Structure 1
Amino acid sequence: MLKKRAYKNVLAVAVVSTLMGAGTAWAATPSSDHVPSVDTTTDHKALNNVDVMAAITEARGNVTPIDGKPANVTVDNSALSTADTEVAVIAKTTGKTDLEKAKMEAASTKVVGVQAKYISAVTDELLTPYVGKTIASFSIDGVTQEAEQELVAGLHQKIGDALSIDGVKNDIVSIGNRGIFSEVNPIITVIPEGVKITYKVTSNPIVHSVAFEGNTIYTDEALTNYMALESGNILNTVTVGEKIQGINAAYNRDGYMLAHVSGIHVDKQGTLHVGIVEGIVEDITTAGNKKTRTKVITREFNQKKGKPFNKFLVRRSVEKVYNLGFFDDVNVRLLEGSDPSKVILETDVLERKTGTVTIGAGYSESDGLTGILELGEDNLRGTGDKVKLHWEYGGSNKYKNYQISYLHPWLDDKATSLGVNVFSRTNEYNDYDAKGAAVAEYNKKTTGFNISLGRQTGEYTRDYLTLESRDDKYIFDPKSNSANGFIYTKNGGPQETETTHVPNRGFMFKDMNYVGKNFGRTNSITWQKIFDSRDNVYDATQGKRLSAAVQWATRVLGGNFNFCKFTGEARFYHKVRKSQVIALRGRIGWIQGSSPYSQLFTLGGADSLRGYEDDQLRGKKMYNATLEYRFPIIKKVSGVLFTDIGSAWDTSNIIWYKDTKSFEYSFGAGVRVITPIGPVKLDYGIGKHDKKFHFSFGTQF
């Protein structure tokens, strides 16, 4: 007696939530008058492959196995690329991802292999009564005869085998993994020879077109071309699933880490609808900023409200906020938006003290009582404006030094800055020959002002235009200056023995108008361009800073000198291991025209050539390079190993200076200490001619 085991009818639903990371499902409505052919994959020949899994992999198109693991595949999604140039630029630095290069090279993306999604009502309880019975025949109900032969050939169980639960399930997987069926169910019939197994299949709907919803990053055209679905073919969940994986991977590669395909469904007209959620930033808020105004933080953000969340833009935004110097820590948190497709970006900051007060006093027999007062605020009333007042009084000449500076960083919404600086200072200077021997000691008084406008011209670039007027005056005071040296206002020849000064060694300073050629008013206009991609402007661990400047001084502006000064600098930073850094800096410069003494390039001292006197080398031409290896020692204390090279030459207006081009070098070690009044640097440099300790304040280059 023939017995038919009825199977439970199940709605033909293929759940593709695992393809999209969401719980959305689509209902496949089978066409009553359509008998599917297995030849709906991209490569008919692949279906004849004995290895079914290999055949499926080959049939998917544009996919190759990785390391022999069929669960991992690559998809060529280079055709999908963000059109946001800002994202592309930032990704090269903060994310170490060159999106343009990836697009040009058609770089593939690793994704998890997609399994076909289908429904089967088979259970162990339904199969148990037939376990061990001989399989007499197979058939596939719902496909053409040719397709049936191909499907049967790919089954794991063979005629004559004993039926097993795992065998039936494996056969269901073999059929279902073709990707074109929404339902696969076995019908087992007992016959005298054993059992007959019929696999009842329901085909996926036919797709005529594809439509996308919610996409703003990639165009409909780009997505449609990427999907590459041929009109009139049965929906293949494997092929479509991998394309969806590729879309998700492209979003993640381009920094849109919250974006994903949220769901797909086929309507009655055969249109495949693909829904995309891009993770829109609904609002940007702040927390922890008790003093700093919210707009001071949010105006630094590359990530904008109403746009998809992008990790590159957010990472760069955090860097810019931290580099303001107002905060000890900056963190970003994602909060739920008004609906699941939106997020709120909260920036949590830990404010630091931005005001400084410095008071100092001293006494010496030569200078008498001296005093220093300095007031500074880097975040004036929480606006981000900077103001500084420096005042010195005292000395034997009762000099009064002062400097007043003010910076307003945002004149408009394009980050145009305005800086004003007024100064008057009288300082004691030493002149050296090329080997570091002191030859003169004098005072120089400098008064003037400068006004600077800066403008953001790119994500990492700023241009500055500065107008400056300064007046340098030579002062020689026999009471306070050294007994050894030149008197630049006198002619050469030995002086009276009663005086305290040595001979001028034959240099005719007065006749040669030495003071007139080297001291006076310099009125100039300077243009400077800076590219700065450092992750931390105060203590960089990666990135670079490039700058070029041209200073044009002319009598047309009311000054006493005509010259052009060109300066170029490059700094590079590379992190080694976790917290060690290799830093490299190179500088070049040259001057065309008759430059005064005060505008010559100088080398020597803590900031350029350690192991040499401050400003020991001077000239109209200069080169300088520094290589440092920086490493932590304990908290707030770090060490550095360094080597410096450089030279400055061509001093036509300094007639006593031996004008020879040389190669100077030094090497040594130092420590850096973070103190409440700022970073302190102590270096010991071994130079070509001497050894020096250098003590200074300020951050590293």
Structure 2
Amino acid sequence: MDRRQYRKLTCAVALAVGFAALPGFSYAAEQMASQTDQPATAQPTDAKPAAAQPTAAQPANAQPATQSTADAQARETPAAAGTQSAAADQVTKQAEGQQDARTQAWVKSRPAEDIITKAMKQYEGKTIVDTTFDGTTELTAKMAKSTLTMHTGDMFTTSGLQKDREAIFATGYFYDLYPTVEQVPEGIVLTYHVLENPVLKSVKIEGNTVEKTADLEPLITVKPGEILNSRTLHENVQAIQKLYRKDGYILAKITDLNIDKDGNLTVRINEGKLEGFKVKGNTKTKDYVILREMRQKVGEPFNSTKARRSMQRVYNLGFFEDVNIKMNPGVNPNAVVMEIDVKEKRTGSFGIGAGYSSEDGVVGMLSVSDTNFRGTGDAVSVSYEVSGDDSDAHGYTFSWRHPYIDAKETVGTLKIYNRTYEYSDYDEDGNLKEEFMRKYSGGEVTFGRPVSEYSTNYVTLRNRKDEYDNFDPSDESTRYTKDDYVDSDGNAHYFGRSGPSYAQWRKDNFGLTRSVILEHVTDNRDNIYNPTTGGRVSLSGEFAGLGGDFDYQKF
């Protein structure tokens, strides 16, 4: 096990889960780093090679001369500190001034790893007489011993030693350990010197804003009053991150696990902020038309579910052929800038038609509409129709929709109309009874406001007048049915249903309607043009009266 590998191993517990400082965990790393930074010229003249001394790997508390020599050599070895990671350096710096007596003693006695490696090679092939542990409690000693693969009576190998050291680390109860060997006539006594993790006193969670502390605390299963198990703590960290990912906060991570010398553990969470938006590809549509569809605000933790919904809402505007969202790194660590790239399509339409006949004269129509008027997101539509005389279809309609009246996303729609058109009336058996000209005029005002992400309530005020269009009684056009009026000569007259016998029918079907329409719409389709999931449900009721000719309720 070379120096680089061992240092990675000793720092794995603290650094793999983002430890910033674990006093009682990081002191040994601090000593190792300081040892390797000393200049080679500081080597004492009486230092002797450790490999030449059979007692070089005796227990640290015996402090033999060769052990002191090994420590001196470790302190004098240059350049090896370059293998220490930046994160480990941060750990040791933050741990300064927080050492307890237990850690200070460990720092003084712990030999450098390269010295240990050299010393262990000379015992290759010798018989293990006994294996002991120094620094363990009853619980951790039993746990550590159960992981060993080299037992009493087995042949000692450096590969087996490395495997057992890794197994002991894997229990999660130790921050650092090193072996020493005492040679006896029957073979060797192998001793593992360990630095236990501190006893946990309390756990505190910081930095969480979108997940409640009450929901996170059950995920931390390390128990106060017990030795901190770094493996369990690592599993707890993964459980917290899994909860965040399930709720869409894919950038959230544990950036700091800090335990002070009294055993108080602080779990600090960085939820990953949304730093801003950037819009690309829009030439007509204003930026704010796209940005107001975003489901999260700048400064909030980034949420992938909300980002996906934002993309759906932009596409459902109907202004774009394609919408893509990309996350770019932000200025601050663990922050992103959301880039919305759109491809616009035509949203306006224009139609015109004209004709002439000797009977009807000039006829024509004109229509102009745009669902994204001047790139503001407003929808405007105007149509006009003209014919030779008033007995043919003619009139106009106008509508305007403004989707964002206020910050609460209130939508407003105005409609004004005055049209006359040909209407076909059928009886219950599907037989044509009459074709006549029907005229309607008036207007409507509609307001809508969302009550949730997928549900909106609407209220419409309608004022509309419908009329049965009269005609010249002398015109016996076959498009009108006969009245029941017959003159004294037995001739039927073609008055349609404008005669007195149809007065009640006209009263029941034509007149002024003043009503209020209430509607609730729930639409959770992912794509309103080509949905793959979701559906649309609408409930409405119309209440007429308010001074009009009709008084009814319709659902």
- TM more than 0.5: yes
Number of aligned pairs? 465
1:430 is aligned to 2:421: no
> 1:628-678: CA deviations, max 9, x gaps?
xxxxxxxxxxxxxxxxxxxxxxxxxxxxxxxxxxxxxxxxxxxxxxxxxxx
> 1:287-319: CA deviations, max 9, x gaps?
222222222222222111111011111111111
1:560 is aligned to 2:552: no
Aligned counterpart, 2:414: 420
> 1:590-624: CA deviations, max 9, x gaps?
xxxxxxxxxxxxxxxxxxxxxxxxxxxxxxxxxxx
1:325 is aligned to 2:318: yes
Aligned counterpart, 2:523: 532
Aligned counterpart, 1:379: 372
The whole-number CA distance in structure 1 between the counterparts of 2:479 and 2:323 is 55
After TM superposition, the score normalised by the length of structure 1 is: 0.60
Aligned counterpart, 2:347: 354
Mean Cα displacement is larger for which, 490-499 or 338-347? 490-499
CA contact (8 A) 2:22 2:259 kept: yes
The whole-number CA distance in structure 1 between the counterparts of 2:288 and 2:475 is 53
The residue correspondences of 1:120-159 to structure 2 (distance < 5 A) are: 121=113, 128-144=121-137, 147-159=140-152
Aligned counterpart, 1:312: 305
Task: Give, as a single letter, the amino acid of the residue that structure 2 aligns with 1:292.
Answer: T
Query: What is the SS of the residue equivalent to 2:331?
Result: coil
Mean Cα displacement is larger for which, 495-504 or 156-165? 495-504
The residue correspondences of 1:4-153 to structure 2 (distance < 5 A) are: 14-16=11-13, 19-20=16-17, 25-29=20-24, 121=113, 128-144=121-137, 147-153=140-146
Aligned counterpart, 1:662: none
The whole-number CA distance in structure 2 between the counterparts of 1:175 and 1:481 is 108
| Offset, 1:233 | 2.4
**Match among 533, 538, 542 for residue 547 of structure 1:** 538
| Offset, 1:16 | 4.4
Query: Aligned in 2, Cα 1:335/1:256: closer, same or farther, shift over 3 Å?
Result: same
After TM superposition, the score normalised by the length of structure 2 is: 0.75
Task: Give, as a single letter, the amino acid of the residue that structure 1 aligns with 2:410.
Answer: T
Query: Aligned in 2, Cα 1:448/1:195: closer, same or farther, shift over 3 Å?
Result: same
Aligned counterpart, 1:473: 467
CA contact (8 A) 2:126 2:155 kept: yes
CA contact (8 A) 1:464 1:527 kept: yes
The whole-number CA distance in structure 2 between the counterparts of 1:205 and 1:558 is 82
The whole-number CA distance in structure 1 between the counterparts of 2:392 and 2:170 is 93
CA contact (8 A) 1:445 1:473 kept: yes
Query: What is the SS of the residue equivalent to 1:374?
Result: strand
| Offset, 1:260 | 0.9
Aligned counterpart, 1:85: none
> 1:88-109: CA deviations, max 9, x gaps?
xxxxxxxxxxxxxxxxxxxxxx
The whole-number CA distance in structure 2 between the counterparts of 1:163 and 1:509 is 120
User: Could you say which structure has the higher strand fraction?
Assistant: 1
CA contact (8 A) 1:441 1:482 kept: no
| Offset, 1:17 | 6.9
**Match among 295, 298, 319 for residue 302 of structure 1:** 295
Aligned counterpart, 1:248: 241
The whole-number CA distance in structure 2 between the counterparts of 1:468 and 1:346 is 43
Task: Give, as a single letter, the amino acid of the residue that structure 1 aligns with 2:478.
Answer: A
Task: Give, as a single letter, the amino acid of the residue that structure 2 aligns with 1:15.
Answer: A
Query: Aligned in 2, Cα 1:16/1:352: closer, same or farther, shift over 3 Å?
Result: farther
| Offset, 1:422 | 0.6
The whole-number CA distance in structure 1 between the counterparts of 2:493 and 2:448 is 50
CA contact (8 A) 1:335 1:345 kept: yes
**Match among 386, 392, 415 for residue 385 of structure 2:** 392
The whole-number CA distance in structure 2 between the counterparts of 1:232 and 1:205 is 10
Note the residue ranges of structure 1 that are not aligned, 5 or more in a row.
Answer: 1-7, 33-118, 567-701
CA contact (8 A) 1:28 1:182 kept: no
Query: Aligned in 2, Cα 1:257/1:518: closer, same or farther, shift over 3 Å?
Result: same
Query: Aligned in 2, Cα 1:371/1:125: closer, same or farther, shift over 3 Å?
Result: farther
Query: What is the SS of the residue equivalent to 1:377?
Result: strand
Aligned counterpart, 1:517: 508
| Offset, 1:400 | 2.9
**Match among 437, 441, 461 for residue 447 of structure 1:** 441
**Match among 437, 445, 461 for residue 455 of structure 2:** 461
1:486 is aligned to 2:475: no
The whole-number CA distance in structure 1 between the counterparts of 2:500 and 2:481 is 9
The whole-number CA distance in structure 2 between the counterparts of 1:559 and 1:393 is 29
The whole-number CA distance in structure 2 between the counterparts of 1:408 and 1:187 is 81
| Offset, 1:253 | 0.6
CA contact (8 A) 2:221 2:233 kept: no
CA contact (8 A) 1:330 1:350 kept: yes
Query: Aligned in 2, Cα 1:31/1:255: closer, same or farther, shift over 3 Å?
Result: closer
The whole-number CA distance in structure 1 between the counterparts of 2:395 and 2:485 is 33
| Offset, 1:432 | 2.5
Task: Give, as a single letter, the amino acid of the residue that structure 1 aligns with 2:481.
Answer: F
The residue correspondences of 1:584-603 to structure 2 (distance < 5 A) are: none
> 1:313-369: CA deviations, max 9, x gaps?
111111112212222222222222221132222222222222211112345676454
Mean Cα displacement is larger for which, 419-428 or 190-199? 190-199
Task: Give, as a single letter, the amino acid of the residue that structure 2 aligns with 1:548.
Answer: L
Query: Aligned in 2, Cα 1:412/1:145: closer, same or farther, shift over 3 Å?
Result: closer
| Offset, 1:563 | 0.8
The whole-number CA distance in structure 2 between the counterparts of 1:25 and 1:494 is 107
Task: Give, as a single letter, the amino acid of the residue that structure 2 aligns with 1:483.
Answer: T
The whole-number CA distance in structure 1 between the counterparts of 2:366 and 2:496 is 40
| Offset, 1:166 | 4.0
Query: Aligned in 2, Cα 1:221/1:526: closer, same or farther, shift over 3 Å?
Result: closer
| Offset, 1:193 | 2.6
Query: Aligned in 2, Cα 1:328/1:146: closer, same or farther, shift over 3 Å?
Result: closer
The whole-number CA distance in structure 1 between the counterparts of 2:158 and 2:151 is 14
Aligned counterpart, 1:411: 405
Query: Aligned in 2, Cα 1:324/1:31: closer, same or farther, shift over 3 Å?
Result: closer
Aligned counterpart, 1:217: 210
CA contact (8 A) 1:120 1:184 kept: no
The root-mean-square deviation of aligned C-alpha atoms, in Å, is 3.5
**Match among 246, 251, 258 for residue 251 of structure 2:** 258
Query: Aligned in 2, Cα 1:269/1:151: closer, same or farther, shift over 3 Å?
Result: closer
Query: Aligned in 2, Cα 1:496/1:382: closer, same or farther, shift over 3 Å?
Result: farther
CA contact (8 A) 2:381 2:398 kept: yes
The whole-number CA distance in structure 1 between the counterparts of 2:180 and 2:477 is 111
Aligned counterpart, 1:62: none
Query: Aligned in 2, Cα 1:30/1:513: closer, same or farther, shift over 3 Å?
Result: closer
Note the residue ranges of structure 2 that are not aligned, 5 or more in a row.
Answer: 28-110
1:188 is aligned to 2:181: yes
Query: What is the SS of the residue equivalent to 1:132?
Result: coil
| Offset, 1:251 | 0.5
The whole-number CA distance in structure 1 between the counterparts of 2:415 and 2:421 is 18
The whole-number CA distance in structure 2 between the counterparts of 1:131 and 1:496 is 136
Mean Cα displacement is larger for which, 306-315 or 428-437? 428-437
| Offset, 1:480 | 9.4
The whole-number CA distance in structure 2 between the counterparts of 1:360 and 1:466 is 33
> 1:441-497: CA deviations, max 9, x gaps?
11111111111111122211111111111111112658999726634xx33679988
Query: What is the SS of the residue equivalent to 1:284?
Result: strand
